[in-house]
Chain A
């Protein structure tokens, strides 16, 4: 599995309140949530994002509330992967559970700039920056999580386990 897209770049501690502000949480419809994705940090994001694009951020991406609406809105906006130096733990779980690919990679987080064109190979964890001609080795998922991802989410994994 591969992803290829243009990068939207953010800094440390991007919290779930700016990813999807609480004023929109009276909806749980992914398409509607996507129209407000990143609104309080980057009001043009929803307008500019294209299918396959990639979000790159530095430390503690997704900190704050447990709202699964945050990874759901990112996924529904067409983003193919989020790369960060570190993720907040609830966001990390949620992303895996709903099937939004995420990769931890300090080098990529430091070196990739907004607008770069980046290709990710999920099997090897290699992140290739086409704009700069550099590649970075991202962290592969532990085996247990790979099983959840392969099953396309936690619910399918549970069904397959109890089948």
Chain B
């Protein structure tokens, strides 16, 4: 029986010729990640281990991005813990405020992960790197700590859902709409314990930023990982960003899948996930009149340069509606700089939006845009759970940068066509 792409990568990292779904294996890791929330717990846990040094100084990444720049004293202590550990262990990939960005945008940009590699991160959106054809998955702090010291992790080999992508997206429709549509279809536990393997000729029509967005939200369907085949765009991205050697794995022709889902990109419209689950999706046309108080454009899902370009195009000849707060957060310093050089920041500020330094900030209800009781936000983030961005009675509507920017202009959930665009 053939193997899926994920199974092939796992087999290679476990030193096995083949693996099958359900098998428990121990695999070697190429990268182990934590942030300022999960890092301190992991650092505390590894104290229990007899071996105390990290398995490889260049294969551990510590990114304080959640409550940074330090939002309060306790957060400052957490960041200090991570900083001091990185220093004591000589960890090369520690990113201080100033070079820091949101981890899942930062690591691919820094070339720290490439196709064919295996990565665990103490952050659920570690699955983002599947866009590059790597196996990457989120774990907790104890798993991360163990991986950081031993260079290994245990996995149950997942079965997979095959997602066949065909066609080409309409204008203003993006990767975010693809993944929201898929989650709406299969539900927040639709891919539980399994891989989402994307295939099909439509993938060539998706940019790398679209693929990062899609892989990023695989976890929102409960998936262990989401993974894309490696094509010319992937290779061009890796050659631009990384010196690491990559390896291309392809699923066997006779690989077994639990299920097959077809997504025709031509048929997708701008999509919004209503509170309080990412599966509660409607098209913007079906959304009705939903007035809002705030817009957030950013996060590891949609804080990349293409996202900012789309938002800027909409805000170029429009103004943020009076009374609406529009918060834009470039995901990394490099994206921030690029946005500045392209004049996007000027567009945002002239339109009445604010632009923040890279941080997770409001995405997890940390800081920089918390919602009061009863307030509503359209956000390009990935979770709209109860209380995620503030008060338990506030509401989050998940959408693409195009929908978020258009909504900032009208003050209600809207798509660019409503602005005559």
Contacts and interface: CB of A to CB of B under 8 A. Distances in A.
Interface in A13-36: 13, 15, 17-18, 21-23, 25-28
A40 interface: yes
Nearest to A161: B150
Interface in B33-47: 37-38, 40-41, 44-46
Contact of B49 (A27, A64, A68, A158): A158
Grouping DSSP codes into helix (H, G, I), strand (E, B) and loop, the B interface class, with mixed when no group exceeds half, is loop
A40 B383 CA distance: 15
Contacts of B189: 13, 59-60, 63, 86, 88
Interface string B183-204: 0000011001100000000000
A116 B32 CA distance: 43
- In this complex, the member of B51, B75, B121, B385 whose beta carbon has the largest number of chain A beta carbons within 10 angstroms is B385
A26 B66 CA distance: 10
B146 to A, nearest CB: 5
Contacts of B71: 26
B193 A21 contact: no
A21 B154 contact: no
A55 B127 CA distance: 29
Contacts of B40: 28
Interface string A58-81: 011001111111011000000000
B364 A22 contact: yes
Nearest to B34: A66
Nearest to A92: B193
Interface residues of B, number: 51
A161 to B, nearest CB: 9
Interface stretch (B133-141, B310-318, B323-331, B409-417): B133-141
A65 B385 CA distance: 11
B385 A18 contact: yes
B38 A153 contact: no
Contacts of A23: 365-366
Interface string A121-163: 0000000000000000000001010000000011110110011
B261 interface: no
Interface in B134-182: 138-143, 145-146, 149-150, 154
Contacts of B188: 13, 60, 63
Interface residues of A, number: 42
A25 B37 contact: yes
Given A13-B188, A22-B364, A156 B387 contact: no
A3 interface: no
A63 B150 contact: no
B51 to A, nearest CB: 7
Given A26-B72, A66-B38, A97-B142, A155 B386 contact: no
Interface string A92-121: 011001100000000000000000000000
A89 interface: yes
Interface in B42-98: 44-46, 48-51, 66-67, 71-72, 74-75, 78
B67 A18 contact: no
Given A89-B222, A162-B51, 9 more contacts: A13-B277, A17-B364, A17-B388, A28-B41, A40-B386, A89-B193, A94-B140, A94-B142, A155-B45
